[in-house]
Structure 1
Amino acid sequence: MPAHSFSHVLIVWDLNHHLERDAYENLLEVQGLTDHVTFPTHERGGTLDPVFSDYQEDRLQCHQLGLVGSSDHHVVLIQLDVGVTRDEATTRTIWLWNKADWASLRRDLAHTPWATLLQGGAEKTPRPTQGIRHQIDGSAMVWLYRCCVAAEAKYAAWLRHKRNPTRRNKDLHRAACRRMVVITKWAIKKWEENQRWKLCGPGV
C-alpha cells in the first residue's frame, strides 16, 4: 500500500481472526482503516469476512445476506458511494414544436407576396416580411418556411407513430427526423452565406 498512490483503499477477504488477531489489529491501526463488518458472517457466529477501507461510515455500509449453496459463509453486501463525477450542466434551447401556432404560420406564409418580396434576388431583399413576429429578411423567410414544413412533418410522423406504433410508422418517423436534420443544416449554411455576403460583399 505505501508503494502505490491510491485515492482510497478497500480490502475484502476471508480471515480467521483467532489465528491472525495481531495482523488484523495492526493493519487497522497502522494503515488507519476501518472494518465495516460488525455482524457475524459465518453460520456458527464468527465474523470471518471483514471489509477494510478508509471510507467514512456514511459512504460505505455492509449488510448480511443469506447463505449461498453449500457455503457456511453469509453473503456480505457492500454499498459504496463512490461519488461519480458528473459533467457540468449546460444550457440548451428546446423548441416546443407542438406549442407553435402552425395554422397562423401557414396562413401568413400563404398570403406572403413572394414574387414582390423576392424581386432582385433573395439576398438583396432589404425590408422585413409581414405577418411574422420576428424581424427576418425575405431570404431567411424561405429557409424558415422549409424548416417549419420539415418540423411539422416530423411532428405529424411522431403523432402517427404514437397513435399506431407499427414498424412502418416508426421508420417513417425516423425518415422525417433525418429530413429535418438535413434541412436544418442546409438552412444554417444558407444563413451563414447570407451573413458573409452582407459583411464582406458579393466578392467573397
Structure 2
Amino acid sequence: MTTFSLSGAFARMRQTKPASLAAALATSVLLLSGCAELRAPRPSQPLPTALLPPNVEPLRAAARMAAADFADQGSRLQGRPAETARAVGRLEWLTATLSTDPRYSALPEGVAMSLRAGAAEARANLGMVADTPPAQATAVLTEIARAIDAGATPSFPASVFPAGPERSLQRLQAPGPFPQAGIATGQAAEAIAAADRQGGWKPTTGQSSF
C-alpha cells in the first residue's frame, strides 16, 4: 500500500482553492478508511451455540459432529428432520469458518473447497436457495430444528426455502444421500486432527493459533 501522510494531505489542502477543498478532504478520508479496512480482521461467523454441546472448542466439536452426521452419506439423518436441520446448520458454519477465517489457513486448501461442495449438495437436497448467506442458513435451520423438537410447526422463510413449508419439511424428512458432504466432513475432521498431532497450527513456532 502507498504510504499516506495525513500532514502532507492537509498541507496540500491549504494550497487548494476553496471550491476543491471538500473534494480533497473526501479523498483523504477515503484513503484513510481504505487503509483501516485492510488492517481490520475479517468478521467471523456467528457461533451456533444451540448446535454444539456446552463448554467445547467449537471448531473441533463441529468437525467431529459433522463427520458423524454425514458418515455413510448421511444415512443416520433419514427420517429425522430436526437432526437433519441441525446437521446442515453445523455444516454451513463449519464451511464458512474454514473458508474465511485466516486462523485456519494452515489446513490444506482442498478441505474448504470440498466442504463448499458438500454444503452446496446439502442445500440442493433440502431445496434451499443456493446463495443464501451461511449465517442466515445456520440461523434458519437452527430455528427449524428447535420448532420440530418442540412439536411446533416450523417456519420456512421463502427467501431460503422457496418450495414452501410442506415440500421443505418433506425434504428434511427424506433428504436423500449426502455423498459429497460425507467425504468433505471426514476430510475436515482428519485434517484438524492431523494438525493437532503435528504440534498445532503454526508449524514454524509450534504454537496453536486458536
Superposed pair shares fold, TM > 0.5: no
Which TM class, normalised by the smaller chain length?
A: under 0.3
Given the two structures, how large is their TM-score scaled by the length of structure 1?
A: 0.26
Given the two structures, how large is their TM-score scaled by the length of structure 2?
A: 0.26
Higher fraction of helix: 2
Larger Rg: 1
